[in-house]
Structure 1
Amino acid sequence: MNDQNTRHREKMKKIKAARDRMMAEKSDEKGLIIVHTGPGKGKSSSGFGMIMRCIAHDMPCAVVQFIKGNWKTGEADFLRERFAEECTFVISGEGFTWETQDRERDIAAARAGWTRAKELIRDPRNRLVLLDEINIALRYDYLDIDEVVDFLLAEKPEMTHVVLTGRNAKPELIEAADLVTEMTLIKHPFRDGIKAQAGVEF
């Protein structure tokens, strides 16, 4: 057992030394373009986790929620009721596209949300702006992908992070991003007849 502990300790020392060298080389900071996409659950949840971190670090932040509309979510209630000073929360959209069944209304709502998103991103006080489910609006061409990418690359303040969530992120956005995570679906209870549940899905 002592030999095993000694080997483990020596291995961990080497890993720590290598890690310390790697971390010493990483000294730059910049505002990131972050994309959460893929068919698995967790894209919005991860984005809201970053919002919580910003609030904990006294970093003003903002959310523009596309597509979901007035669907009652825990994150909207929580942030609006308890952290309205720290986090601006904007809901843009009247519900999922299969609910509205009106493309022109969906386009108008997405464009109104994008207009507000640009204002919030341009405001240098906001250290992070979450564009929740914007990838769906981009997928259905409610917003022009080139306009969104050009704005992020040319007008986003240097130290502002922007997080864009939703399935089917377009290749142009993935190319422009600094950090891209694809959530992979392995199992989901919906397939077994379990409905979306408070605290897990919304």
Structure 2
Amino acid sequence: MTEAEETTPKDDARHAEKMAKKKAARDKIMATKTDEKGLIVVHTGKGKGKSTAAFGMIFRHIAHGMPSAVVQFIKGGMSTGERDLILARFSELCEFHTMGEGFTWETQDRARDIAAAQAAWAKAKELIASGEKSMVLLDEINIAIRYDYIDINEVVEFLKSEKPHMTHVVLTGRNAREELIEIADLVTEMELVKHPFRSGIKAQKGVEF
């Protein structure tokens, strides 16, 4: 133990008193948090991790035996670890719908992209409105909204008026619209600080997909 790490009984007593005060203050705050509701959660920003974090919430739901669903708006038929695991092991707890056909620069067909996004939105509304799923993930819906494949006003109005009270809805994708952020309960913006792609490193299995 270094000199800086050495403590005296007085130090220990002071630390215990300080932590006891913090705990009392924390307990007082927590005692006021009694409400429960289904949250509207938005993961956006230019940084990596938006869908990754959302799938973490889905797997947490699965771990608690709670029914959930995923609707992917943009990602096409490419195999991903999350989808493969859910379909192979947890399909009874999580419905998985890959409705997109890839990014718009891959399909190069706006009408086709709009039709796919509208079909995904119809499935999303069905899953949310049923009240049977306690969490529904709308993966990359913000991209579909950004390109006007889906009307932001319709999305906002549906979430405000049709979402069951205890259903959580998670929406991912960069460039989330202000209208969506305004009605959300939880918004996280992933900030890009550094990314291996800029150094010529391609997307790798187990990291990006």
Pairwise TM-score range, normalised by the shorter structure:
over 0.9
Give the secondary-structure state (helix, strand or coil) at the position aligned to 1:89: strand
Query: Which TM-score applies when normalising by structure 2?
Result: 0.95
**What's the CA shift string for 1:139-192, capped at 9, x where partnerless?**
111000000010000000000000000000000000011110001111111111
In structure 2, what is the Cα distance between the partners aligned to 1:120 and 1:7? 54
Shift of 1:8: 2.3
In structure 2, what is the Cα distance between the partners aligned to 1:168 and 1:162? 18
For 2:196, the equivalent position in structure 1 comes to 189
For 1:106, the equivalent position in structure 2 comes to 113
Shift of 1:90: 0.2
**What's the CA shift string for 1:111-153, capped at 9, x where partnerless?**
0000000010012120000000000000111000000010000
Count of aligned pairs: 202
Moved beyond 6 Å, runs of 4+: none
In structure 2, what is the Cα distance between the partners aligned to 1:18 and 1:40? 35
2:181 counterpart of 1:174: yes
Aligned with 1:150 (options 150, 157, 161): 157
Aligned with 1:89 (options 96, 113, 123): 96
In structure 2, what is the Cα distance between the partners aligned to 1:69 and 1:8? 55
Give the secondary-structure state (helix, strand or coil) at the position aligned to 2:171: strand
2:160 counterpart of 1:162: no
Amino acid at match of 2:69: A
For 1:76, the equivalent position in structure 2 comes to 83
- Range with bigger deviation, 161-170 or 72-81: 72-81
Amino acid at match of 2:136: V
Shift of 1:7: 2.7
In structure 2, what is the Cα distance between the partners aligned to 1:38 and 1:104? 27
Aligned with 1:60 (options 50, 58, 67): 67
Say what the alpha-carbon RMSD is for the aligned residues: 0.8
For 1:44, the equivalent position in structure 2 comes to 51
Change in Cα spacing, 1:73 to 1:9, as seen in structure 2 (3 Å) is same
2:34 counterpart of 1:24: no
For 1:120, the equivalent position in structure 2 comes to 127
Q: Which runs of 5+ in 1 are unaligned?
A: none
Q: Which runs of 5+ in 2 are unaligned?
A: 1-6
Shift of 1:5: 2.7
Give the secondary-structure state (helix, strand or coil) at the position aligned to 2:136: strand
Give the secondary-structure state (helix, strand or coil) at the position aligned to 1:181: strand
Query: Which TM-score applies when normalising by structure 1?
Result: 0.98
Larger Rg: 2
Give the secondary-structure state (helix, strand or coil) at the position aligned to 1:64: strand
